A and B are shown apart, each in its own frame.
Chain A
Amino acid sequence: MSDWSKVTRPAPVPNEWTRPFWEAARRGALELQRCQSCRSFQHPPYATCVKCISVDLKFEPVRGIGSIYAYTIMYHTGDKRFAPAVPYASIIVELDDAPGALMVGNLLGAPVSEAKVGRRVEVVFEQLNDDITLPQFKLAAPRKSTAG
């Protein structure tokens, strides 16, 4: 399992488009940009809706549960700040509430071999400093099958 305790992460710098996302994360909530016209979510935040070009966008809460869309396991230690965590899993997550909006995170609290496309994950919040809290992910309990 990756040891993140000795890793110094670059700190995100919120801007006018992304500040609501980071302010929500600091409160321990997940909010994504949503088009008020076609109702689709998108991430990262953008100036316009990438589906319907509406500029009427607001941040709305979403549940922090979804699936691994894709991932990579990093072995290369080019950046020494991340070297203590190698090998680590960087994952792309598609939330159940926001199909098509792809979030980046690390898979925490599990061996990297647990990273698989389709694996269920849920958000955990990792405080980086007073201003920034990172939404991260851990394995979720498998979805209860409703199939007969």
Chain B
Amino acid sequence: MPKWENRCKIALAGVGYSKVTRSADLALAAHALEAVKGAIADSGLKMEDVDGLSTYPELPATGHAEVDGISVVSVNCMMAMLKLPNLTWHMQVGNNNIGGAVQQAANALLAGVCRYAVVWRAMHNPKGTYQNLPGAQAAGATQFTGPFGFGGPGQHMAVAYTRYLERHNQSRDKMATLALTQRKHTQHNPHAFFYGTPLTREDYFNSRMVAYPFCLYDCDIPVQGAVAVVLTTAERARDLKPKPAYLASYGQRLHFEVAGRIGSLADYMEGGASSAKLTWERSGFSPKDVDVAQIYDGFSASVLYGLESYGFCKQGEALDFIQGGRIALDGELPLNTFGGSLGTGRIHGLWHIIEGALQASGRAGSRQVKDVKVSFVGASAPIVTGTTFIFTREPY
């Protein structure tokens, strides 16, 4: 299998963050604007240089209205705020989550239809219950789940997790290592919601159960916030302010899913494996070449499904793989070095992509892993919306 002809022709060269808050004190549009302006400033570009926009404007909370600027921030909303004089391309994606928006922006840059693309992800925390079951009536796919008290993705992932634990004879107690390690990493990320808030083993084991096997600290906390990136061609990136991170390859899940069919562990495994296969083949790398990994952790078990389906360890072994300091900043495979979603709050996978790029370009500050050449990102749960990326320090 030949490597991707476009590997390292696109670079990530600018990152931005809004303030991450628990409640929606500001309109979400204001968060998105802060993140986008931050990313443009980080890159050293001027507003008039930006000519591409892309996002995934989705509200994962169920039973709440999607209101542009309040609960989602569409491309149209961003166009209205920025009034870019030189805009030539925009796109919002409907699936593959934010990883799909990043891939579309890379494709547009490769096609030459824009020069500097900004991608953002803005996440709203609505007032009241985050995941509502259907109302009095359950239509569509929910007719087979809602009547039985199945609500949001946490419960969906929890059923796959019980199958995982009991089929592989594993213990959920081992997951404490992931939660604690990531919270430790969070203390090096001042933008994160849980920056300044440590987590102890006792906290983990004494926390309330949400949907067994998930306790409170297996779930990322819903927050209001946004992050953004600037992408451009590798050639242009060399003239920008920060050291670029080169996009060696990307992939997306190819395994299809049937709406309303939940609990299938195989769907996670086949989804992740299909996306990773593209990413390994296009880059020419394999899991043993990876120096640092960011793997989506909206719910902790997603990391297990990722580690195994991407090929970092064998099926059923991830809970043992993460023990013994292996995933610490100085470990064999430093993992979710920015704290993950468990540390930053629920901003979805663009923050994983940001960290993958920062680690590749040596810009991760006090959490920088030594000698990173190859940086891997799994930007969503391997099922449905799964995408994967590899960034490198240098083109090759």
Contacts and interface: CB of A to CB of B under 8 A. Distances in A.
Given A11-B137, A90-B148, A73 B262 contact: no
Nearest to B150: A90
B147 A11 contact: yes
A46 B131 CA distance: 25
B212 A105 contact: no
Interface residues of B, number: 47
A104 B145 contact: yes
A117 B145 CA distance: 19
Contacts of A74: 149, 155, 211-212
A103 B149 CA distance: 14
Contacts of A76: 210-211
Nearest to B63: A79
A104 B136 contact: no
Q: Among A14, A15, A102, find the residue whose CB has the most chain B CB atoms closer than 10 A.
A: A102
Given A9-B147, A74-B149, A46 B258 contact: yes
Nearest to B159: A70
B143 A72 contact: no
A18 to B, nearest CB: 6
A78 B149 contact: no
B76 to A, nearest CB: 32
Contacts of B210: 75-76
Q: Among A15, A72, A116, find the residue whose CB has the most chain B CB atoms closer than 10 A.
A: A72
A62 interface: no
Contact of B258 (A12, A42, A117, A118): A42
Interface residues on A, range: 35 or more
A99 B333 CA distance: 38
Contacts of B213: 72
Contacts of B162: 70-72, 117
Contacts of B262: 92, 102, 104
A72 B211 contact: yes
A27 B324 CA distance: 56
B21 interface: no
A36 B25 CA distance: 56
A138 interface: no
A27 to B, nearest CB: 18
A7 B133 CA distance: 13
6 contacts: A9-B146, A10-B133, A71-B159, A72-B162, A104-B262, A134-B147
Interface of A: 7, 9-15, 18, 42-44, 46, 50, 69-76, 78-79, 81-82, 85, 87-88, 90, 92, 102-106, 116-118, 128, 134
